[in-house]
Amino acid sequence: MKVLVVAPHRDDEILGVGGTILKRKAAGDHVTVCLVTAREGEVLPECTQIIHREMQKAHAFCGVDEYIGLPFGANKIEQFTRLEVNKAFDDVFRKVQPDEVYLPFWGDMQKDHQMTTEAAMVALRAKNSYAAKRVYVYETLSETGINTPTYQNTFIPNVYEDITDFIEAKKEALSFFKSQMHDFPDLRSLETIEALAKFRGAMVNVKAAEAFMLVREIR
């Protein structure tokens, strides 16, 4: 199976889908991560180079098979036309032709997350021959659940991935992001990651889980 995880920023893919990535790799699946704000083609500033190296280490640890970087900058996607953004996503889906796709939740605080999912869904229209059979959105600690409290912005999971056997490895993968992880009670702390996994797991009577919202499944 070909799995594609779309991450607006470096570390979103591990925060939201890290346990599932590890589980898919253990099952022998092919995993691609597409980083939207990679600024591909630019010379990255030193602070961004640090995060990029952290991401590379985390990807190697998780066994990510392929990395795709898009040319957009963090907090600057709106500087591009919708046509440019939509085409970039369309090119990715044409290339990867994934069976399973993970996107950020559309109700996240960060505009980059919202725009990522909007553009991805244009490319994922079911009429396209490369449309994925399963599309999910994931939650990202520090972005999901802190937006204006409306029903559109409320993450209501209906799919749970049992990551009991992978929660410790997920925490280890996140530990590579030394520049991004902080001490508890910060939302981006290893303690919070574990607490969320246990809470999501308890909802379906397993020890640890990642939660998703199903957007579409074609059987």
Alpha helices in the chain (DSSP H): 12-26, 46-62, 82-96, 111-123, 167-175, 190-203
Tell me, what's the pLDDT at 150? 95
pTM: 0.97
CB 2 within 8 A of CB 32: yes
What is the residue whose two structure tokens read 């605080």? 109
Hunting for tokens 């594609």 — which residue is that? 4
And the tokens for 131?
Answer: 């449309």
The pair of three-digit structure tokens given for residue 66, joined into one six-digit string: 């392929």
C-alpha to C-alpha distance for 90 and 108, rounded to whole angstroms:
22
Q: pLDDT for 13-29, tens place per residue?
A: 999 999 999 999 999 99
- Residue 43: the pLDDT is 85
pLDDT of 42: 85
- What are the pLDDT digits (tens) for 200-211? 999 999 999 999
**Are the C-beta atoms of 171 and 190 separated by less than 8 Å?**
yes
Q: What is the mean pLDDT of the chain?
A: 96
Mean pLDDT (10-residue bins), the chain, 219 residues: 98 98 98 96 90 97 98 92 95 97 97 96 91 96 95 96 98 97 96 98 98 96
pLDDT value at residue 96: 97
